[in-house]
């Protein structure tokens, strides 16, 4: 998941595609992206089955880029990112537009509920444990993707500045997940993740500066309200990853809703009309 989505341009292009952009010119007009980067991203998104290229005219050849089932199912994660950035991050270059729910017409916020019992879930009601294919070693693969990190710098701090500090970096993401499951001490974080101390402390400094983590008197790292509010992004990202990149051994992470005791699958509902949200019903003002 981090390989595919740890790049802000990728998320922004998919988001625009979900909102109706199809042609090269649509993306170029809607995003402050260079032609070279847009061309490269459209090619890699097509290769990863996140967009499909469709030639709608020949001579001269004209193509459009359409969402696939794989990218269409990213809407819960993108909606959760949008909500978190809108609510908790104040230093956007331009304010994020309001989200509107087509069904009720209202400006809304997504509420994360449990599909099994349909109740809203609090962050302390989700219990995470490793599944058959899960471990820090397997889930935080030690890859070094130069193309991705170059693109990340180029696209940094556009619409999702702080989200990218979490999901744009595999160590940062793992670190935040570790704090969600209750690992709080520097030495424990380092031992669990197996990362160099400098790597851990650099990520902890960023999260502390962003107000996602705080340290208490005993030197333990704890999630702030803002940090805990990131949970919907983590669980929707995980749901997407496990759906589209399943492991033959079984899931990497198993989530339980302690409120009802059942396996937790996130379901987003509209806070205005309480109806379950569907991707095509989530709109943003232009």
Q: Using the rule CB under 5 A, is 117 a contact of Zn ion?
A: yes
Q: For residues 104 and 154, which CB has a smaller minimum distance to Zn ion in the complex?
A: 104
Q: What angle do CA 236, 134, 116 make, to 5 degrees?
A: 40
Q: Using the rule CB under 5 A, is 116 a contact of Zn ion?
A: yes
Q: Using the rule CB under 5 A, is 265 a contact of Zn ion?
A: no
Supply the minimum distance, in Å, between the C-beta of residue 274 and Zn ion.
Answer: 7
Q: Using the rule CB under 5 A, is 270 a contact of Zn ion?
A: yes
Q: For residues 111 and 260, which CB has a smaller minimum distance to Zn ion in the complex?
A: 260
Q: Residues 82-101 vs Zn ion: string with x where CB under 5 A?
A: -------------------x
Q: What angle do CA 113, 119, 120 make, to 5 degrees?
A: 50
> In 10 A of CB 284, how many CB atoms?
14
Q: Using the rule CB under 5 A, is 52 a contact of Zn ion?
A: no
Q: Using the rule CB under 5 A, is 257 a contact of Zn ion?
A: yes
Supply the minimum distance, in Å, between the C-beta of residue 183 and Zn ion.
Answer: 24
Supply the minimum distance, in Å, between the C-beta of residue 13 and Zn ion.
Answer: 27
Q: Using the rule CB under 5 A, is 113 a contact of Zn ion?
A: no
* Angle of the 75-88 helix axis to the 8-18 helix axis, nearest 10: 110
**Terminal C-alpha separation, the chain:** 29
Q: Using the rule CB under 5 A, is 283 a contact of Zn ion?
A: no
Q: Using the rule CB under 5 A, is 272 a contact of Zn ion?
A: yes
Q: Using the rule CB under 5 A, is 111 a contact of Zn ion?
A: no
Q: Using the rule CB under 5 A, is 104 a contact of Zn ion?
A: yes
Tokens of 157: 């701090």
Contacting Zn ion (CB under 5 A), which of 209, 273, 276, 280? 273
Q: For residues 206 and 260, which CB has a smaller minimum distance to Zn ion in the complex?
A: 260
Contacting Zn ion (CB under 5 A), which of 1, 52, 260, 283? 260
Q: For residues 28 and 260, which CB has a smaller minimum distance to Zn ion in the complex?
A: 260
Beta-carbon contacts of 142 under 8 Å, excluding residues fewer than 6 positions away, are: none
Supply the minimum distance, in Å, between the C-beta of residue 104 and Zn ion.
Answer: 3
The C-alpha atoms of residue 196 and residue 143 are separated, in whole angstroms, by 15
Would you tell me which residues interact with Zn ion (CB under 5 A)? Answer: 101, 104, 114, 116-117, 257, 260, 270, 272-273
């Amino acid at each position: 998941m981090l390989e595919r989505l740890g790049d802000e341009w990728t998320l922004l292009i998919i988001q625009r595609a979900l909102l109706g952009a199809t042609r090269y010119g649509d993306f170029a007009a809607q995003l402050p992206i260079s032609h070279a980067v847009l061309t490269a991203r459209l090619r890699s998104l097509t290769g990863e089955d996140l967009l499909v290229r469709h030639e709608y005219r020949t001579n001269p050849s004209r193509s459009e880029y359409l969402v696939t089932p794989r990218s269409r199912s990213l809407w819960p994660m993108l909606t959760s990112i949008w909500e978190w950035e809108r609510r908790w991050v104040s230093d956007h270059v331009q304010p994020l537009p309001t989200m509107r729910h087509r069904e009720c017409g209202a400006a809304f916020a997504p509420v994360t509920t449990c599909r099994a019992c349909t109740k809203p879930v609090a962050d302390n009601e989700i219990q995470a444990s490793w599944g058959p294919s899960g471990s820090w070693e397997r889930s935080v693969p030690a890859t070094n993707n130069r193309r991705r990190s170059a693109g990340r710098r180029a696209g940094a701090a556009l619409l999702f500045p702080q989200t990218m500090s979490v999901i744009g970096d595999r160590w940062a993401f793992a670190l935040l997940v570790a704090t969600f499951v209750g690992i709080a001490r520097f030495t424990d974080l380092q031992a669990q993740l197996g990362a160099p101390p400098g790597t851990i402390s650099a990520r902890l400094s960023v999260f502390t500066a962003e107000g996602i983590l705080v340290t208490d008197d005993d030197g333990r790292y704890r999630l702030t309200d803002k940090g805990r509010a990131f949970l919907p992004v983590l669980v929707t990202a995980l749901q997407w990853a496990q759906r589209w990149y399943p492991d033959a051994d079984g899931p990497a992470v198993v989530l339980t809703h302690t409120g009802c005791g059942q396996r937790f699958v996130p379901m987003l509902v509209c806070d205005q009309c309480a109806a379950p949200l569907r991707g095509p019903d989530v709109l943003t003002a232009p």
